[in-house]
Amino acid sequence: MSTIAAPNSGTHPVRAWSGVPVLLGVLVLAFLLHIAVGAKQLSIGTVIEALTNFDQTVFDHVIVRNLRLPRAVLAVIVGASLSLAGALMQGVTRNPLADPALLGLTAGAAFAVVIATSVLGLTSMIFIPWIAMLGALGAALVVYLIARLVPGGATPLSLTLSGAAISAFLSAVISVVHLLDQDTFENLRVWLTGGLAGRDITLLLYVGPPIALALIGGVLLAPRVTVLAMGDEVAQGLGVKTGALKVQLLAVVVVLTACSVALAGPLGFIGLVIPHVVRLYVGSDYRWIVPYAALAGAIYLLGVDTIARVAIPPREISTGIITAMIGAPLFVQLVRRRTR
């Protein structure tokens, strides 16, 4: 990624956008590679042909279209969503450790889905995204209320601690459900480790529109996030309606997190690590961090999922495990760099 020109100035939009074509190019390459590798290796040429000039009598084309393309699309959408959500949360809470997973939203969404499917016996896929949204929103509000009760109010530290506590609590409840109801839970076990394998792509019909709206909304709101990150009073002085903006941003983050969880289970570290990596190249203005984080998140999850599929053939590792295994040391490295 060192080839990306550092668009370090918020006042030169032309220069700042210059990294976008580079990242788009990398994204296309990662996308094609993701589809090409697997149990049956395909050439990039075959993949392109299958995508542009589909022939259903060619077996390789069918593999590409029916088996691999949906998963690659899923990786792009979920990677971009989680990364963008993490970037927005870091700006709003002025907390470099903010992330949908760390602040309890991911656990809230997962918890709601587990309860709805195992305890309430809900099976229709249509409801999953909405249940996940309710769960993420509920967890976010509880985390915020707990943080506010701490002396000193909802500071980055109190939010992180209360997020960790709520995540741990919800995970514990999920475990209890697991122990009490092994049968239903067996279906959820793989989903709960987070991954893109064997996902129901028809779900995309339901979560696609809200995700698209939230991604666009997030990029449009990004310039305000920088203003908000300078403090409520500075932002209000510059004419930002801080209360309304925070509600809009919460809605964007909840939709992106919940839909990602519905699609791929609770994937950690993407929302935390990717915005930090992006910051090294584009600086601290969210106007640039947010769109770049979306692109980089999509590339990252494509890459991680490619590894998950080919690392120990013929078996497949859960994507969530790989994101954590790569994300954790990457995060430690970032923390070390910042404190040095």
Partner 1 sequence: MSGSATTQQTLRLEGIGLSVGYGGTNVLDNVDLAIPTGEITILIGPNGCGKSTLLKTMARILTPSKGSVLLDGKAIHRLDTKSVAAKLGLLPQGPIAPEGLTVRELVAQGRFPHQTLLRQWTRADEDAVNGAMDIAGITDFADRSVDTLSGGQRQRCWVAMVLAQETDLILLDEPTTFLDLKVQVDLMDLLAGLAHQRGRTLVIVLHELSLAAAYADHLVMMKDGQIVATGTPDDIFTAARLKEVFDLEAKVLRDPDSGRMVCVPSGTRMRSVAPVTAR
**Interface contacts to partner 1, rule CB under 8 A:** 8-11, 13, 91, 94, 96, 220, 223-224, 226-227, 229-231, 233-234, 236-241, 279, 283-285
Q: How far is the CB of 224 from partner 1 (least distance, A)?
A: 8
Sign of CA dihedral 74, 59, 28, 327: positive
Candidates 221, 207, 192, 194; CA nearest to 89 is: 221
- In a 10 Å sphere around its CB, with 0-12 CB exposed, 13-18 middle and 19+ buried, how is residue 207 labelled? buried
Identify which of residues 91 and 108 has a Cβ nearer to partner 1 in the complex: 91
| Cβ neighbours of residue 279 closer than 8 Å, sequence gap 6 or more | 289
Sign of CA dihedral 256, 287, 293, 170: negative
Convert 149-160 into a string of H (helix), E (strand) and C (coil): HCCCCCCHHHHH
Identify which of residues 236 and 248 has a Cβ nearer to partner 1 in the complex: 236
> C-alpha distances in angstroms, 36 versus 62, 69, 316?
13, 10, 16
Identify which of residues 63 and 278 has a Cβ nearer to partner 1 in the complex: 278
**241: which DSSP letter?**
-
Identify which of residues 93 and 260 has a Cβ nearer to partner 1 in the complex: 93
Identify which of residues 8 and 18 has a Cβ nearer to partner 1 in the complex: 8
Candidates 127, 136, 30; CA nearest to 82 is: 136
Q: How far is the CB of 93 from partner 1 (least distance, A)?
A: 12
Q: How far is the CB of 287 from partner 1 (least distance, A)?
A: 9
Q: How far is the CB of 227 from partner 1 (least distance, A)?
A: 5
Identify which of residues 193 and 248 has a Cβ nearer to partner 1 in the complex: 248
Q: How far is the CB of 238 from partner 1 (least distance, A)?
A: 5
φ/ψ of 175, rounded to 5, equals -65, -40
- Count of helices and strands (H, E) across the chain: 15, 0
Q: Which residue has the tokens 């991954």?
A: 195
Angle among Cα 260, 182, 174 to the nearest 5 degrees reads 45
Q: How far is the CB of 235 from partner 1 (least distance, A)?
A: 9
**8: which DSSP letter?**
-
Q: How far is the CB of 106 from partner 1 (least distance, A)?
A: 24
* CA dist., res. 277 & res. 292, Å (int): 10
Identify which of residues 31 and 288 has a Cβ nearer to partner 1 in the complex: 288
Identify which of residues 189 and 241 has a Cβ nearer to partner 1 in the complex: 241
Candidates 327, 211, 238, 340; CA nearest to 275 is: 327
Structure tokens given for 96 = 């470099």
Q: Which residue has the tokens 């969503």?
A: 81
Q: How far is the CB of 279 from partner 1 (least distance, A)?
A: 7
Identify which of residues 183 and 233 has a Cβ nearer to partner 1 in the complex: 233
Q: How far is the CB of 87 from partner 1 (least distance, A)?
A: 12
